Amino acid sequence: MISPKSEPELDRSLTQPNAADIAFARRIEGDTIVLGAGGKMGPTLAKRLHLALREAGSNARVLAASRFQSASAVAELRDAGVETLNCDFLDTAKVQALPRVPNVLFLAGRKFGSAGDPELTWAMNTIVPAHVAEQYRDSRIVVFSTGNVYPFVTPEQGGCVETDAPAPRGEYAQSCLGRERVFEYYSKQYQTPCLLFRLNYAIDLRYGVLVDIAQQVYAGKPVNLSVPAVNVLWQGDANSYAMRSLELCTSPARSLNVTGPETIQVRRVAEFFAKRFDREAFFSGESLGVALLNNASACHAALGYPEVTADQLIEAVAIWVESGGTTLNKATKFQVTDGKF
């Protein structure tokens, strides 16, 4: 059970490695670079990997590269033992100046605001991957992607599997498929081992689908039911899966759906929060009967089930929101069905 009462406690719960992480850290050879480490997930992933390596007795380095927007984010990573590098990934020369290491976690990308500036979205999600794939042709690369590359399906279908044909809806999702195709191309060209990490949706209590719903219920705002169901995953588990996916990289590149085993009904979780907060749940929109849902059974078979269940995660979100915990004020827009973010 997770029950952090403050941001420092939350970060510790996200970064504390488990036994599988430490065992992996004993096997992994060489340094690792986290590209796009200044986003929502990068800092806790980099710190968790660093801690796992130290607990495994390894002196391998973890480097974090990003266009870091705040000095405090850089200081936080450095204080945790992670080396930081400032890099604009659209600048070819700057990417070429990055140190070449055997292990790469690629988190760089763009989603929010993509509808208003689609050319930048395409540049970040397709040109940057080309720069990175060239620079790290001799490494193994875990490429963060998304379930948005799949078609919408009914909850009864059980979610898309890795062999389902992509059917991205909207330019953001199309550019994400473009990112995958670029890495697939270079994986074949250079025999670079890659894994396409199709994640949805990570929750760390400060943001995520469940946080969006809980906040809306708590504020007396209507919860949109256009998308009737979602998948969720504790970000600590997502961090664990991401680092350990380095051992699953192959050439040609392979895909891996990453999420929890449960399908969460939006109406039911909203009603749970309403009862918990002693408030009435309000709803808007009509269910379209379909959603972006992943079947992550291959991930669970290879890397184990998440340590945090959906019920535990829902409870933790309720406690966090009810106690006035800090949030990032960045909605996931999970209810969007036209792909315009």
pLDDT digits (tens, 9 = 90+) for 38-84: 988 999 999 999 999 999 999 999 999 999 988 888 999 999 999 99
What's the whole-model pTM score? 0.96
The reply to whether 18 falls in a domain is yes
Task: Report the share of the chain in percent with pLDDT over 90.
Answer: 89
The reply to whether 312 falls in a domain is no
pLDDT score of 298 = 98
pLDDT score of 71 = 85
Range of the domain at 131: 7-202+234-259+293-303
Rounded to the nearest integer, the mean pLDDT of the chain is 95
The reply to whether 151 falls in a domain is yes
Instruction: Tally the domains of the chain.
Output: 1
Domain with residue 114: its CATH number is 3.40.50.720
What angle is formed at CA 219 by the lines to CA 110 and CA 321, rounded to 5 degrees?
70
d(CA 325, CA 214): 12
Q: In the predicted model, what is the mean pLDDT of residues 294-311?
A: 97
The reply to whether 216 falls in a domain is no
Q: In the predicted model, what is the mean pLDDT of residues 206-229?
A: 96
The reply to whether 25 falls in a domain is yes
pLDDT score of 115 = 61
pLDDT digits (tens, 9 = 90+) for 125-150: 999 999 999 999 999 999 999 999 99
Q: Is the pLDDT of residue 212 over 80?
A: yes
d(CA 194, CA 208): 27
Q: In the predicted model, what is the mean pLDDT of residues 250-277?
A: 97
pLDDT score of 53 = 98
pLDDT score of 117 = 83
- Name the residue type at position 140: R
DSSP assignment, residue 151? P
Q: Is the pLDDT of residue 215 over 70?
A: yes
The reply to whether 285 falls in a domain is no
Q: Is the pLDDT of residue 341 over 70?
A: no
Contact 201, 40 (CB under 8 A): no
Question: Helix, strand, or coil here: 149?
Answer: helix
pLDDT score of 112 = 57
- Name the residue type at position 86: N
User: Which element (helix H / strand E) includes 160?
Assistant: none
